[in-house]
Amino acid sequence: MSRRTVSRTYPIDRIRTEFPILGTTMRGKPLAYLDSGATSLKPQVVVDAELHYLTRISANIHRGVYQLSEEATVRFDEARDSVRQFINAGDEGEVIFTKNATESSNIIAFGWGRKFLKTGDEIITTELEHHANLVPWQQVAAATGAKLLFVPLDPVGRVSPDAVESVVTERTRVMAVTGMSNVTGYMPPLRDIAAIARRAGAVFVVDGAQLVSHHPVDVQSLGCDFLTFSAHKMCGPTGVGALYGRRDLLEAMDPLLYGGDMIVRVGKESATFKGVPDKFESGTPNISGVIGFGAAVRYLQGIGMEAIAGHEQELLAHAVRRVGEVPGVAIYGPVTEQGVAGGVSEPGGILSFNLGDLHPHDVGAVLDGEGVAVRTGFHCAQPMMQFLGVPGTVRASFYLYNTFEEIDRLVDALNKTLEVFS
Amino acid sequence: MNIADDLYKEIILDHYRSKKNRRRLDPADYHQEGVNPSCGDDIELFIKTDGGIISEVTYDGIGCSICTASANMLCEALVGNSIEFAGKVLSRFKGMLIRAEEPDFPDSAADLEAMQGLRDYPVRIKCALLAWNTLDQILNDIQSDEKPQSLVDTERPG
Ligand SMILES: Cc1ncc(COP(=O)(O)O)c(C=O)c1O
């Protein structure tokens, strides 16, 4: 167990036993899962929480006076409170359950942007964005006549406060920025951007799909107005996400979906709607998923997000060094500049690279054969690929359960790839 | 079986390394671009015909080794042959990969058999089919005697 981690106190061995899939194989080799950026593995406690609902409760929420229905409602509300605490939102009305971060982004863009943006208003964003935090704004810009402006990135893909200032005008209404690039792991200076947004009177939207799963986030001290994230990237189930929004903003917005569960009274010609969060949650939600989401954030809190982020930084440092030694490797993003310890204060646990002139899929395929799961392609971030000047990358991403040995296996598999294509 | 042996057979790697047919034809009688949106692969085919015979065929673009090897095989298999021949090879290639039919290729297209191993790697089948789906579009256009225009998303043909 000597090389699993640097930190002696991080409970890596226990954590690994809590994820049943880590005991399995892929293509006949022990699974080395280095694709948590796409979706994380699920611990047994999350599976158990969902299973408990499905096998012991099963009833719908907010309906029925019988015991099981009450219990379902209690568990559902508990999950909302767990997620609220996890990001330190002020009140429960500010946490809306959605199906994923993408839906959360669309609720902001269409529920707020479509309603309040006018011709000539400006939306500031970056080329770092995942399509989920870009395409909805493109659509809303086209529909309202608002303009999209991009913060100029530095040569390794960083955002400086000065660069943000350089695109702010009196027409700036929205700043939509990722909390952590899903391509390079780079984390923009959110607090500085929040301050700029506040001075500009703009709404500050943070795409937290990567950030919230890997780092401690406190929406109140961060100063964001909206935050989007997905349960499945943080040990929870697929099909559930969350939208955090400042209460006054949410109250002013219109929902995207209308129907049951979100109404106060319905007549033949019109209806009145509930307040937040209910007005955004019409129809029967993914109840088992939400309950699993609650279990996931409590699980992460039990280990501690600081500890997890620290573990990922150690893994990243090891990966930058080891992968960097493979002949022909080009690593993308700020980690290239001075290594991890220098320059970059808080890089997320993501390493994007290419191997010589090999296509990322070819690298990924040989890695697959060695039991090493990585993501290959453009990572739903085509503007970022254009910025990097590559059609795609190989991306290894790390999470609380990964080890140094898995990174060493990645390196062995990369060397094998070179042999296959030599 | 090992993935490297299954998927990356020497014969496939030879076609991948060969740059012989990787160039643009200008002018070409037929030119079509095909993309696989999920992986970003993007292949253009260029064809010159002469009395129902494909006199020249080349490709250019970005793709993985399976994708570009398949495009190169396409060029080697079709040059000097008729449009009908191209249609026949196309349908046999798709038959082998999609419907698991036994390979049955004419001699000039025999190398395509090496792609049979892809059946065990379903996500990569679309890599091998990109150039061929692009060809399919050209063959349709030849039949309707109309020059092709738009970009085809070959992951969702028709
Ligand atoms: C930075 C970022 N934003 C948004 C998303 C979208 O998440 P989802 O697909 O769960 O909606 C992702 C997922 O890949 C992401 O990495």
Q: How far is the CA of A34 from the centre of ligand 1 (A)?
A: 16
Q: Which atom of ligand 1 is nearest to the CA of A99?
A: 11
Q: Give pLDDT, residue A343.
A: 42
Q: What is the 3-state secondary structure (H, E, C) of chain A?
A: CCCCCCCCCCCHHHHHHCCHHHHCEECCEECEECECCCCCCCCHHHHHHHHHHHHHHCCCCCCCCCHHHHHHHHHHHHHHHHHHHHHCCCCHHHEEEECCHHHHHHHHHHHHHHHHCCCCCEEEECCCCCHHHCHHHHHHHHHHCCEEEECCCCCCCCCCHHHHHHHCCCCEEEEEEECCCCCCCCCCCHHHHHHHHHHHCCEEEEECCCHHHHCCCCHHHHCCCEEEEEHHHCCCCCCCEEEEECHHHHHHCCCCCCCCCCEEEECCCCEEECCCCHHHCCCCCCHHHHHHHHHHHHHHHHHCHHHHHHHHHHHHHHHHHHHHCCCCEEEECCHHHHCCCCCCCCCCCEEEEEECCCCHHHHHHHHHHCCEECEEECCCCHHHHHHHCCCCEEEEECCCCCCHHHHHHHHHHHHHHHHHCC
Q: Give pLDDT, residue A261.
A: 82
**Higher per-residue pLDDT: A215 or A263:** A215
Query: Reading across the β-sheet that carries A350-355, which strands appear in turn?
Result: A329-332, A350-355, A393-397, A375-377
A positions 245-284 inside 8 Å of B (CB): none
Spatial separation of the C-alpha atoms in residues A278 and A115, rounded to whole Å: 19
Model confidence band, residue A263 (pLDDT cutoffs 50, 70, 90): confident
ipTM of the predicted assembly exceeds 0.90: no
Whether residue A165 has pLDDT greater than 70? yes
A101 CB near ligand 1 (under 6 Å):
yes
CB atoms within 10 A of CB A97: 24
Which residue in chain B is spatially nearest to A368 when comparing CA positions? B3
Render pLDDT for B88-142 as a digit per residue (tens, 0 to 9).
Answer: 999 999 999 999 999 999 999 999 999 999 988 888 999 999 999 999 999 998 8
Render pLDDT for B30-71 as a digit per residue (tens, 0 to 9).
Answer: 999 999 988 889 999 999 999 999 999 999 999 999 999 999
**What's the mean pLDDT in A79-92?**
97
Chain A residues with CB under 8 Å of B65 CB are 358-359, 362, 421
Which among A362, A378, A385 has CB closest to B64?
A: A362
**What's the mean pLDDT in A237-264?**
94
Render pLDDT for A298-333 as a digit per residue (tens, 0 to 9).
Answer: 999 999 999 999 999 999 999 999 999 999 999 999
Render pLDDT for A205-239 as a digit per residue (tens, 0 to 9).
Answer: 999 999 999 999 999 999 999 999 999 999 999 99
Model confidence band, residue B5 (pLDDT cutoffs 50, 70, 90): confident
- CATH number for A48-301 (one of 3.60.20.10, 3.40.640.10, 3.40.50.2300, 2.60.320.10): it is 3.40.640.10
Domain boundaries, chain A: 12-43+304-421, 48-301
Model confidence band, residue B158 (pLDDT cutoffs 50, 70, 90): very low
**What's the mean pLDDT in A18-38?**
97
Q: Give pLDDT, residue A2.
A: 40
Of all protein residues, the one whose alpha carbon is nearest to atom 15 of ligand 1 is: A209
Q: Give pLDDT, residue B112.
A: 96
Spatial separation of the C-alpha atoms in residues A148 and A126, rounded to whole Å: 10
Average pLDDT of chain A?
A: 94
Find out whether A412 and A30 touch, Cβ atoms under 8 Å: no
Q: Give pLDDT, residue A232.
A: 98
Helix axis angle, A360-369 relative to A404-420, nearest 10°?
A: 120
Model confidence band, residue B83 (pLDDT cutoffs 50, 70, 90): very high
Q: Give pLDDT, residue B26.
A: 92
Q: What percent of chain A has pLDDT over 90?
A: 90
Whether residue A144 has pLDDT greater than 60? yes
**What's the mean pLDDT in A36-54?**
98
Q: Give pLDDT, residue A8.
A: 74
The single residue of A31, A135, A317, A380 carrying the catalytic annotation is A380
Q: Look at the domain A12-43+304-421 and name its fold.
A: Aspartate Aminotransferase, domain 1 (3.90.1150)
- Whether A369 and chain B come into contact, CB under 8 Å, resolves to yes
Q: How far is the CA of A132 from the centre of ligand 1 (A)?
A: 6
Whether residue A386 has pLDDT greater than 50? yes
Q: Give pLDDT, residue B24.
A: 97
Sequence letter at residue A245: G
Whether residue B157 has pLDDT greater than 60? no
Spatial separation of the C-alpha atoms in residues A308 and A292, rounded to whole Å: 20
Q: Give pLDDT, residue A341.
A: 44
Q: Give pLDDT, residue A337.
A: 55
Residue of A354, A362, A374 to mutate, interface with B, max B Cβ within 10 Å? A362
Spatial separation of the C-alpha atoms in residues A412 and A194, rounded to whole Å: 43
CB atoms within 10 A of CB A216: 17
- Whether A414 and chain B come into contact, CB under 8 Å, resolves to no
Q: Give pLDDT, residue B40.
A: 81
A209 CB near ligand 1 (under 6 Å):
yes
Among A206, A210, A397, which is best to mutate for testing ligand 1, by the most ligand atoms less than 8 A from CB? A210
In DSSP terms, which residues pair with B43 in a beta bridge?
B34, B61
Q: Give pLDDT, residue A347.
A: 75
Find out whether A53 and A287 touch, Cβ atoms under 8 Å: yes
Spatial separation of the C-alpha atoms in residues B75 and B51, rounded to whole Å: 18
Q: Give pLDDT, residue A69.
A: 94
Mark yes or no for CB contact B8/A377 under 8 Å.
no
Fold match, A12-43+304-421 / A48-301: no
Whether residue B147 has pLDDT greater than 60? no
Among A106, A125, A207, which is best to mutate for testing ligand 1, by the most ligand atoms less than 8 A from CB? A207
Which residues of B lie closer than 8 Å to A, measured between beta carbons?
2-4, 7-8, 13, 38-40, 42, 62-67, 121, 124, 127
Which among A27, A358, A382 has CB closest to B3?
A: A27
Q: Which atom of ligand 1 is nearest to the CA of A379?
A: 14
Sequence letter at residue A394: V
Which among A27, A365, A378 has CB closest to B40?
A: A378
Whether residue A291 has pLDDT greater than 50? yes
In DSSP terms, which residues pair with A266 in a beta bridge?
A271
Which residue in chain B is spatially nearest to A394 when comparing CA positions? B39
Q: Give pLDDT, residue B37.
A: 84
Spatial separation of the C-alpha atoms in residues A253 and A422, rounded to whole Å: 58
Whether residue B154 has pLDDT greater than 90? no
A235 is catalytic: no
**What's the mean pLDDT in A403-411?**
97
The values of phi and psi at residue B13, to 5°, are -65, -35
Q: Give pLDDT, residue B156.
A: 55
Which among A361, A382, A420 has CB closest to B64?
A: A361
Cis peptide leading into B27, omega within 30 of 0? Answer: yes
Chain B residues with CB under 8 Å of A368 CB are 3
What b-and-e string marks burial along A3-27, b requiring 16 or more CB atoms within 10 Å of the CB?
A: eebeeeebebeebeebbeebeeebe
Which residue in chain B is spatially nearest to A26 when comparing CA positions? B3
Q: How far is the CA of A221 from the centre of ligand 1 (A)?
A: 23
**What's the mean pLDDT in A27-51?**
98
